[in-house]
Chain A
Amino acid sequence: MIHLIYIEILKLRRNIPFLILLALFAVSAFGICHLVKGMGEEQSQIQHILPFTFPGAWHSVSFIMSFLLAIPALALIMHTCAEYTYRTNRQNVINGLSRDQYVTGKALLVVLLSLLSSLLAFAVTALVGDDVTTPFSFAGIKYIVYLFLHAMMFLGAALLLSLLLRRSAITIAILAIYALLAENVLERFTRDLGSWGHLLPLASSEHLLELPAYRIVRADAGLSEQVFIIAAIAYVVVCYAACYWKYRRQNL
């Protein structure tokens, strides 16, 4: 395992676009949270929706960062699809990696990026969270875990699409259309199915991070947090299983 992630790190250590995107992700996380906090201090309505006082700060930061996951997803897609363009994925296998090992390396990279996202969310909350009016507290830290789960799902979907489509532009377009449009449309159509319509792949983990105002709607749908956690974990497992299944059969 360590061997496989080390190979991925060797590939990325001089990949300037990848490193720039990661830096942008970190700067955006600090910048946007700081900005929203500042807006909240001026308008109490924003502060009510997105509090930066503890314990609500964990939730607010995780919620904001769930949108910023698009940046590491972009980096992951560019890196994975570039391997197809340069045919280095093929060469890795020819040189002696099994196909499963290749996918494991990529899946471990997703885990690493998800961990980095969670650690970044922790650091942003610790720095931006307002511990003047409320004392620092770990009470809402579960949202960092939910962010990790959502990152695993979102980045896993990005990885799966990259392996399926092999071209970064198409992959980015399809992922953006699905995440921003298609899943919302599907969710509306499946409302007739009752509560289960909320359990679409990305929505399951997204619902765990959504703001309290939206949570009232979901509560009406009658699904508990545990259901969303189980659904999100199940989708993550299915997503990675699909990556292995596809790559084992692919002509490289």
Chain B
Amino acid sequence: MNVLTTNGITKRYASVTALKGVSIAVPAGSVYGILGPNGSGKTTLLGIVTDALKATTGSYRLFDETRKPHEVRRKMGVLLETPNFYPYLSARHNLEIVARVKRVSTKSVREALEQVGLSDRQHDKFKTFSLGMKQRLAIAAALLNDPRVVILDEPTNGLDPEGISEIRQIIKQIAARGCTVILASHLLDEVEKVCTHVAILRKGVLLAEGEMKEVLARHDEATTMEVAGDDAEKLARVLGEMEGVAVIEVTAEGVAIIACRPGEVTAKEVNRYCFGRGIVLERLVTKGHNLESTFLELTK
């Protein structure tokens, strides 16, 4: 059974087409990752299935149920973009409003606050919270009604490493409860580790969708390598000029991560190419095929 099915959803804003005929199916019990660079339409898609946005064309179905969509949404927990609460109300009062909207007992508020570690700050106004605390409160709101589906859109955005770690821990707990989790993110590593299914979007077009293993197998066209030398800047420039190679990023440690076509560009060739241009490599590691290379291959 699918908890969410979309059929050819298109969304246009004046001259911009944010989504072009996107059709996905999210199986019950899965951890479904929606990947895409900024502006690819991830939030727009989630906004449409939660009725925050209106699709230009296309339709969606939640839980294969005939109940009204807003009644079905009460059994979902959603964190879309930023946490949205009344800044002049306390955490507790904000959650009481959410509980009333979802038609659950306000007794569940205390439990939800405890679950995200905000019991001590429950009487403080939302506007006094740090971003991490706001994010945790939004997750508490999402968990209020023991949801069947949790939608999280970039839940770790803007958080410090400690905050990211906390949120990841909470996501793992949610998934462990057997909830279906839909996670929109550009953190490829996170999605690859957590998700069972994936959809990859670029400029509103669905490039790939299905089980993680299937998608990786289907697009087995690129490998990534980690390359390091004396001069990271020169190394990145030289590698950028090499045919069949795309420089993904240069890390703070000066390691260039590159994507290359297997069979066409080997580690030996990269080494020779760099040496020929006066760069002695300190490190050259072939990472093989992963979600990152697939993602970059599909979205470049």
Contact = CB atoms under 8 A, between A and B. Distances in A.
Interface string B33-65: 000000000000001001111100000000000
A95 B88 contact: no
A94 interface: yes
A94 B53 contact: no
Contact of B52 (A6, A13, A15, A94): A94
Contacts of B87: 86
A87 B100 contact: no
Interface centre among A7, A16, A94 (most CB of B within 10 A): A94
Interface residues of A, number: 27
A48 interface: no
B102 to A, nearest CB: 5
Interface stretch (B91-99, B200-208, B232-240, B246-254): B91-99
A180 B84 CA distance: 36
A94 B85 contact: no
A90 B88 contact: no
Contacts, number: 76
**Interface of chain A, helix or strand or loop or mixed?**
helix
B156 to A, nearest CB: 19
B51 A95 contact: no
A96 B74 contact: yes
B51 A93 contact: yes
A97 B89 contact: no
A252 B101 contact: no
Given A95-B102, A251-B54, A10 B97 contact: yes
Contact of B85 (A88, A101, A250): A88
B107 to A, nearest CB: 16
A94 B68 contact: no
B108 to A, nearest CB: 14
Contacts of B52: 90, 93-94, 251-252
B93 A96 contact: no
Contact of B70 (A6, A14, A101, A252): A101
A7 B97 contact: yes
A93 B78 CA distance: 11
B103 interface: yes
Contacts of B85: 86, 88, 91
Interface of B: 47, 50-54, 68-71, 73-74, 78, 80, 82, 84-90, 93, 96-98, 100-103, 141
Interface of A: 3, 6-7, 10-11, 13-16, 86-88, 90-99, 101, 249-252
